[in-house]
Amino acid sequence: MWMSLMKLDLASVGLAVSLGFIFVVLFEIFRIKSYRGKTPPGPTPLPFVGTIPHFLLNPMEFIRSLSQYGEMTTLYLGRKPAIFLNTVELAKEAMVQNASSFSGRPPIPLLMWVTEGYGIVMATYGHSWKQQRRFALHSLRNFGLGKKSVEERVIEESSYLVPEMLKSEGKPFDPQHAIQNAVSNIICSIVFGDRFDYDNKRFAYLLEIVRENIIQSGAFLDRYKQVFNLLPIIKHFPGPHQKMYQNAEELKAFIRDAVKTHRETLDPDSPRDFIDAYLLEIEKQNSNEDSTFHEDNMVMSVSDLFLAGTDTTATTIRWSLIFLTQNPHVQERCHEEIVRVLGYDRMPSMDDRDKLPYTHATVHEIQRCGNIVPSGVFHETTQPAKLRGYDIPKGTAVFTNLTAILTNKEHWKYPDTFNPENFLDDNGHFFKPESFLPFSLGPRVCLGESLAKTELFLFITSLLQRIHFSWPPGAKWPDMNGIVSVVRSPEAYDIICHSRGSKK
C-alpha cells in the first residue's frame, strides 16, 4: 500500500509539474501575443528565448532579413522586446530629433560587472557620461584629434607599417598583428604619449586579449545575458565569462601602471597626453561635489579609447585587403591614381583627398561593405517615447540596422556589390550619400570618428601606394559574413605582399 501511495504521489507531482510547465508556457505565449499587438511587426519569437536562436543560427542573414518587416522591426532578446530601425530617415528621427529619449545604454549585467558602470562607451546616459565624453572630446582635440599632429602621427606610423608588411614579401602571412599594432599606436600616442614597437611582446599580448574580448563579448551578450540577468551570482563561478573578466583586469592593470608613471612625472604646465590631462582635471575638480573625475573613471575612459581606437579601424583595414584582392581592377586603379598624384615616395596627406577621388571613394566603399557594426551599438530609451505611431516604453533596447541602411536599394547605385562608384558622381567627383552612417549618429556617435577617418584614408592610401596585394594561390576565400560579435571581423586569413618599388 505504501508503494502504491508513493507511486500515486510521484504521479501527482509529475502531473502537477507538467501542468505547471504547460501553464507557464501558455502564459508566456499569451504575454508575447499581447505585446506583439502593440509593437512593430517582426519575426515570431519563441517562449522565454525570443528571437535569439534565430540570430545565433546565422547572424548576418538574420539581420539582413529584418527590413522585410518595414522601417521598424521588433525582436525579442529573451523575454524583452527590442526595436530595430531599418531606414536612415527613421534613425535620424529617433537618434537626432528625439536624442534625449533614445540615447540611453542598457545596463547589461555582464558588462557592468567588467566596467562597474565607469567610462564612456557603456556608461548610462546621464551626468557622468556627459562629463566624461565632453572631456574626452576636448582632450583629444587638444592632443591632435582633427589637427595636423594626428595626421603626422599616422603618416609616421605608415612608414613603419609598410616595411613591416613587406617583411614576408612574396610569402603568405597573416597581416592582423601588424595592422592592429599600427592602428593601436595612434591612440596610444594620444593616450599614453608613446608608440610601441611591433616586436614588443607585452604589447602584442595586450592586443591579443583586447581582440579576444571583443570577439567573445558578442557571444557572451547573446548566450549569457539572460543568465546574468536572472542569476548575477554566476560571476562567482567558473565559466568562459571569467576569462573575459580576467582579460579586462589585465588591460586595466596596464593602464594603472601607466597612470602611476604619469603621476610621478607630471608637469602641470606641460601635459603630454590624455592621462596627464585627466590627472590635472581630477585636481581641478577636487572641490567640486558634482565631479565624476576620479581614477576609476579615468582607467575605464582610457580603456574605452584604447579598445575603440584599436579594433574597429584595424578590422576595417583587414576587410580592405580582402575587398582589394577580390577586386584587383579597383586596387590597380587606386594605385595608378595615387602614383599619378603622389609618385612612389611622397607620403599621402589629408589634403590629397580631393586629388584622389577614386581612392577616397574606395576607402568609403570599404567601410560600407565592411559594415563592422551591422546593427549599430545598442541604445535604450531613457523615457517613454513615440515613433511612427508606436508607443516605445522606457527601457526598450533600440538598434540602428546599419546593414539595411548601408545596402538600401533606393539610396545606393550598387547596393549589393563592392563598387567605389557608389561614392562618385557623374563627373567622377567624390560625394557622400546621406545613408553612409558607419559611425552612427546622434549624441552617441562614435567618439573617434574624425580619428578613424584620418587613419583609414592615410593607412590604406599608403599601403596601396607601395604594396600590391594578392590572394595565396589555392587558398580558400573567407566567409564574407565574417565573425559577428560586437564588431564584425573577417575570419583569419593570409595575404601576399609585393613591393611596388621606389621610382625616384
Alpha-carbon span 70 to 68, nearest angstrom = 6
Strands 72-77 and 80-85: antiparallel
User: Which of 80-89, 121-130, 235-244, 282-291 is the most confident on average?
Assistant: 80-89
Alpha-carbon span 209 to 251, nearest angstrom = 8
Domains defined for the chain, CATH in brackets = 39-499 (1.10.630.10)
pLDDT at position 220 is 46
Checking if the pLDDT of 144 tops 70, the result is: no
pLDDT at position 21 is 58
Alpha-carbon span 205 to 201, nearest angstrom = 6
Q: What angle do CA 216, 222, 227 make, to 5 degrees?
A: 105
Instruction: Specify the higher pLDDT residue, 152 or 46.
Output: 152
pLDDT mean over 305-327:
92
pLDDT at position 196 is 86
pLDDT at position 172 is 97
460 neighbors 346 (Cβ within 8 angstroms): no
Which three three-digit cell numbers place residue 337?
A: 591614381
Phi then psi for residue 236, to 5 deg, are: -90, 0
Checking if the pLDDT of 292 tops 50, the result is: yes
Of 22-26, 414-418, 466-470, 486-490, the one with minimum mean pLDDT is: 22-26
Alpha-carbon span 443 to 476, nearest angstrom = 42
Alpha-carbon span 350 to 147, nearest angstrom = 11
Of 26-35, 289-298, 403-412, 472-481, the one with minimum mean pLDDT is: 26-35
Share of the chain above pLDDT 70, in %: 85
Checking if the pLDDT of 315 tops 90, the result is: yes
70 neighbors 86 (Cβ within 8 angstroms): yes
Alpha-carbon span 253 to 274, nearest angstrom = 17
Helix axes 311-326, 449-466, angle to 10 degrees: 40
H/E stretch holding 125 reads: none
pLDDT by residue (tens digit) across 75-113?
988 778 899 999 999 999 999 999 999 999 887 777 777
Alpha-carbon span 373 to 492, nearest angstrom = 18
* Local confidence band at 222 (pLDDT 50, 70, 90 cut-offs): very low
pLDDT by residue (tens digit) across 406-464?
999 999 999 999 999 999 999 999 999 999 999 999 999 988 888 999 999 999 999 99
Checking if the pLDDT of 493 tops 70, the result is: yes
One-letter identity of residue 23: F
pLDDT by residue (tens digit) across 355-404?
999 999 999 999 999 999 999 988 999 999 999 999 999 999 999 999 99
Alpha-carbon span 99 to 443, nearest angstrom = 7
In 3-state terms, what secondary structure has residue 397? Answer: strand
In 3-state terms, what secondary structure has residue 173? Answer: strand
Alpha-carbon span 357 to 211, nearest angstrom = 33
Checking if the pLDDT of 225 tops 60, the result is: no
Phi then psi for residue 40, to 5 deg, are: -60, 155
Mean pLDDT for all residues in the chain? 86
In 3-state terms, what secondary structure has residue 488? Answer: strand
List Cα–Cα distances, 401 to 62, 358, 383, in angstroms: 11, 27, 21
Instruction: Specify the higher pLDDT residue, 486 or 5.
Output: 486
Among the listed residues 271, 272, 278, the one whose alpha carbon sits nearest the alpha carbon of residue 298: 278
pLDDT at position 398 is 95
pLDDT by residue (tens digit) across 154-197?
999 999 999 999 999 999 999 999 999 999 999 888 888 888 88
Alpha-carbon span 125 to 101, nearest angstrom = 10
pTM, whole model, 2 decimals? Answer: 0.89
398 neighbors 82 (Cβ within 8 angstroms): yes
